[in-house]
Chains A and B, each alone.
Chain A
Amino acid sequence: MMQPNTYRGGPDENGHFGIYGGRYVAETLMPLILELERAYEEAQADPEFGAALRWHLTHYVGRPSPLYFARRLSEKFGGARIYLKREDLNHTGAHKINNCIGQALLAKRMGRNRIIAETGAGQHGVATATVCALFDMKCVIYMGRTDIERQAPNVYRMKMLGAEVRPVDSGAATLKDAMNEAMRDWVANVADTYYLMGTTAGPHPYPSMVRDFQCVIGEEAREQLLEAEGRLPDSLVACIGGGSNAMGLLFPFLDEPDVRLIAVEAAGEGIETGRHAASINAGRPGVLHGNRTYLLQDDDGQIIEAHSISAGLDYPGVGPEHAWLRDVGRIEYVSATDDEAVAAFRLCTQLEGIIPALESSHALAYAAKIAGSLAKDHLMIVNLSGRGDKDLGTIAKHDGVTL
């Protein structure tokens, strides 16, 4: 494949990143996503939209989030200087709110007052319910019943915020099934409803729009590290499920040839066991949820359920831009198992007093794996994409403890 002169030029006008992405949706939805694309382009060109977005990110979300030098983790790993991008300190406790603020402002512009969303871990659902409370919008969250059971505190938070949480029983009752159900709702309620997708997946323009709203992570990190160390990082590490926090951190650095970019998939119980969520490392290209990308699927093209201890990575696909970046070789896609993530969760909690989300713990786990072999002056930024309070029940269960 020919190397492009920029890795940030995508997608093309039809939403393709190389052979990935696109608009694989039913005809009923086609006019809606075309309208959304136009509305988003107009919003991008409107200084007032940008100003409203920045205002909310500063005063409501609490940005910029700190870039924190993790001295004790760095010493423990015995190599690179590890910085943590503290998205866990955002309002609602994860990076998801960056995108929700942006899309809610867009929905308002479009005159849509009913918001629907899918959620896995519940972080995106909570962030969506939060902005709906703020902007006085009706909110319906689709969530797989399996996830409702393992993320009970977040379900209660969403309800407190005024959202209706609709359990999804189809399929394995997890994130992909919640997405199917949200799309069915959207088809049936085209006139007043805005689908607020939480990750860099779905049909065009969602992958690039969600990316744009999350890029604030990497843009801030770049400035913050320049200030702290006087130079760019040597490597960046983020976890990846659908790919929004990874894209947010990594995209602004794609055209910096000396910066090593790493995204960590969930290997679950081990890729060799088949019980994992590593769609790039162990999947094949296919079409699901409106785009072509790497998917976990069987020989007949039926989607296989993903498995991960972290509900937020438990998705059998990945954003199409990641699929392209994998093929052109710009980002390294690696993986960490449930056990490695839990060990990193513990280490970060005990050494830094920071309880990371299980999702983010996958990034920490891979950092732990390689940091020791890197030079003492190697600068590494790990995206701490969310906080782990929501995961205490899962960790306790993993340890055989009843709370």
Chain B
Amino acid sequence: MSAGPRTRIDARFEALRGEGRAGLVTFLTAGDPDLETAAAILRGLPAAGADIIELGMPFSDPMADGPAIQAAGQRALKAGTTLRKTLDMVRAFRRTDDATPIVLMGYFNPIHAYGPAAFLRDAKAAGVDGLIVVDLPPEEERDLPAQEAGINLIFLTAPTTTDVRLGRVLARASGFLYYVSITGITGTASAETADVAAAVQRIRARTSLPVAVGFGIRTPDQAAAIARVADAAVVGSALVGIIAANLGPSGQPGPGTTDAVLDAVRALASGVRSARAGKLRSSA
């Protein structure tokens, strides 16, 4: 059914199905607020309850992102993050965790500058499972033959996606499908759960790929509501906002940053895990 290679993503969604629950996908920008703190947060994410890790590749011109993730990218770039260092971070993480899927998310130009073929080779070797390239729709996907390199290319669909386009996206999608629940940029508004449920149903009628829902999910309750209707809930801006809130007066990372982020992840994870507790038997 899936057009792409088998990765840790497939294994993780199979395990989640076995547990009868949805997953928590956490987004953080690589190198935010600095390389060291970001690495510490990353190491702690699986134990805190993140089922899949999305790591943002910072870009100077993030056109689909709201103020929180724009600022995270600026902090990361200021701290010296490059695409090479992002891959280093994944490689270091893999020394302690070989099961949690890692999806890199960002924009095409840094990959273009790195060289798509070299990037795919290095990303696979570092332990990357999936890629979300926001400004690379199926029409331009041949520029980045990720599936051939053993990496899932994960596509976004939106409320504006027509049935015809959905078919086109699904023909190339693997790993999971990322449903952008609002028409807008990250971290700005939240969708009605009923609308999301209807949209997820529409996608599920066309594919057996898991559907993750993101944009606008901030609290454990919101994450739980999405977990009832989708296969995974993605939380990004709310976590990134915690990093921003813990910055010192001159912009340096606060000492409590790592713990504050991981505490929030724990709360989100318990929200997601509680969502279908009552339904476990019927779905098993």
Contacts and interface: CB of A to CB of B under 8 A. Distances in A.
Interface of A: 14, 22-32, 170-171, 176-177, 180, 183-184, 187-191, 284-290, 292, 295, 297, 299-303
A14 B168 CA distance: 15
A23 B168 CA distance: 15
Contacts of A170: 70
Interface in B78-111: 82-84, 107-111
- SS class, residues of chain A in contact with chain B: mixed
A25 B137 contact: yes
Given A28-B160, A303-B61, A23 B185 contact: no
> 6 tightest A-B contacts by CB?
A301-B113, A301-B110, A188-B184, A28-B158, A302-B60, A300-B82
A24 B61 contact: no
Interface in B210-237: none
27 contacts: A24-B140, A27-B161, A27-B165, A27-B169, A31-B161, A31-B165, A176-B61, A180-B61, A187-B185, A189-B183, A286-B112, A286-B113, A287-B135, A288-B61, A288-B109, A292-B112, A297-B109, A297-B113, A299-B113, A300-B113, A301-B83, A301-B110, A301-B111, A301-B112, A301-B113, A301-B114, A302-B60
A170 B70 CA distance: 8
A292 B142 CA distance: 14
B187 to A, nearest CB: 11
Contact of B63 (A31, A184, A284): A184
B155 A301 contact: no
Nearest to B179: A27
B193 interface: no
A284 B113 CA distance: 9
B200 interface: no
A284 B114 CA distance: 12
Contacts of A22: 139-140
B134 A26 contact: yes
B3 to A, nearest CB: 17
Contacts of A31: 160-162, 165
A286 B109 contact: yes
A23 B140 CA distance: 7
Nearest to B86: A300
Contact of A190 (B61, B157, B160): B160
B59 A302 contact: yes
Q: Which of the listed residues B63, B155, B184 has the most CB atoms from chain A within 10 Å of its own CB?
A: B63
Nearest to B107: A287
Interface string B176-190: 000010011100110
B38 interface: no
B64 interface: yes
Q: Which of the listed residues B60, B62, B77, B155 has the most CB atoms from chain A within 10 Å of its own CB?
A: B60
Given A24-B136, A184-B66, A300-B114, 8 more contacts: A14-B139, A27-B137, A28-B64, A30-B137, A180-B63, A289-B63, A301-B110, A303-B61
B261 to A, nearest CB: 24
A263 B165 CA distance: 39
Contacts of B60: 171, 302-303
B139 A23 contact: yes
Contacts of B243: none
B135 A24 contact: yes
A32 B109 CA distance: 22
Given A14-B139, A300-B83, A187 B108 contact: no
B108 A27 contact: no
B113 to A, nearest CB: 3
Contact of A27 (B77, B114, B157): B157
